[in-house]
Amino acid sequence: MSQTTPSQYPNVNFLALISRVLDEANSKEKCELDSPVRIREAKILDSLASIGVWRAQKQVVAAASHFVEDSQHGGKSVVILIAENGPIDKRTVNHIQDVLSRLVTIHTYFREEGLSQDGTLSPIQEYISIVPQSRFETGLLDLELAIIEHSWKKLRQRLFKNCRHTNFLDTARDVCNPDSPDTLENIDTHSFLKQLRISPEVTKKTIEKMVVSVEMLCKIFQSPEPSLSRVKEARITLASLDFGRKLLVGKDVYLLAWNLHTRRKSLS
């Protein structure tokens, strides 16, 4: 399989072109849009488009794919189409090409190194340590660092946009700090903060760890341009935050109370 991104783009609306290509592919393959295959493809393409963004503002990237006959090697090749809400930027295209190339190499390493004794593929670790143990882990680590470096300005903008970091830290301190002004005795029975404070201890511990990570992330992203050391620090901190986020998945009532309390504070 080969991955290609056209180097020359005609003056057309590529977002519309992507829609047409997908429609044609779905029609020919007679595959429903909500089929598991299509859903997986959409998630992959959305991920490619997301990691293609690097400007702090006003950049939208879209990705699509379709099969073409490969006369040189026989069979079919996958063509990745990239669009932006403006002239396509070579930095975006080059990064996505680099990611695809790295994924091919990583897949090769996994096939060579990821087999267990019975010949089946071993599970992939969710987080690769700072010191990788194989070419496969090295490839994954380098890929993560490349994505963070490319997206640095956008990640920085998302962290500080509308004081998101401050809002999170303020609510977290209200929840975790028993000495904050709003003690339980002074809170109405239906208060959002009371719902948050009576949460299980494990949830509070998760929030406390996330506070440390967010504070660290704010320090890291004070740098407007990425350095290798900062990128590595960001990777570790983002992984810690993602771990905490996953522990809160499914706690809908808790998260609703969190959002409502945060909103109430921001409006006061």
CA gap 143, 99 in Å, rounded = 7
pLDDT at 225 (0 to 100): 94
CA gap 109, 101 in Å, rounded = 13
Contacts of 48 (CB under 8 A, 6+ apart): 63, 80, 96, 99, 100
pLDDT at 218 (0 to 100): 95
Q: Which two tokens stand for residue 33?
A: 């849009």
Rounded (10°) CA dihedral 36, 128, 52, 33:
0
Contact between residue 134 and residue 109 where contact means Cβ atoms under 8 Å apart: yes
Look at residues 162, 157, 156 and name the one whose alpha carbon lies nearest to residue 220.
Answer: 156
pLDDT at 182 (0 to 100): 58
pLDDT averaged over consecutive 10-residue blocks of the chain (268 residues)? 39 44 50 68 88 93 81 74 88 93 87 63 64 85 95 95 90 80 53 82 88 95 95 93 89 90 81
pLDDT at 197 (0 to 100): 82
CA gap 234, 40 in Å, rounded = 28
pLDDT at 183 (0 to 100): 52
For residue 86, the one-letter residue type is G
CA gap 25, 14 in Å, rounded = 16
Collapsed DSSP state (helix, strand, coil) of residue 61:
strand
List, as one string, the DSSP characters of 101-145.
Answer: HHHHHHHHHHHHH-B-TTSSBPPPPSS--SS-SSHHHHHHHHHHH
pLDDT at 34 (0 to 100): 63
Q: Which two tokens stand for residue 94?
A: 């080059």
CA gap 40, 44 in Å, rounded = 6
CA gap 203, 58 in Å, rounded = 36
CA gap 218, 214 in Å, rounded = 6
- For residue 148, give Cα distances in angstroms to 45, 92, 118: 18, 14, 36
Domain layout of the chain by residue ranges: 3-150, 152-267
Strand 3-4 with 76-84, pairing? parallel
Look at residues 235, 50, 220 and name the one whose alpha carbon lies nearest to residue 146.
Answer: 235
CA gap 188, 93 in Å, rounded = 54
Query: How many residues are listed for the chain in this entry?
Result: 268
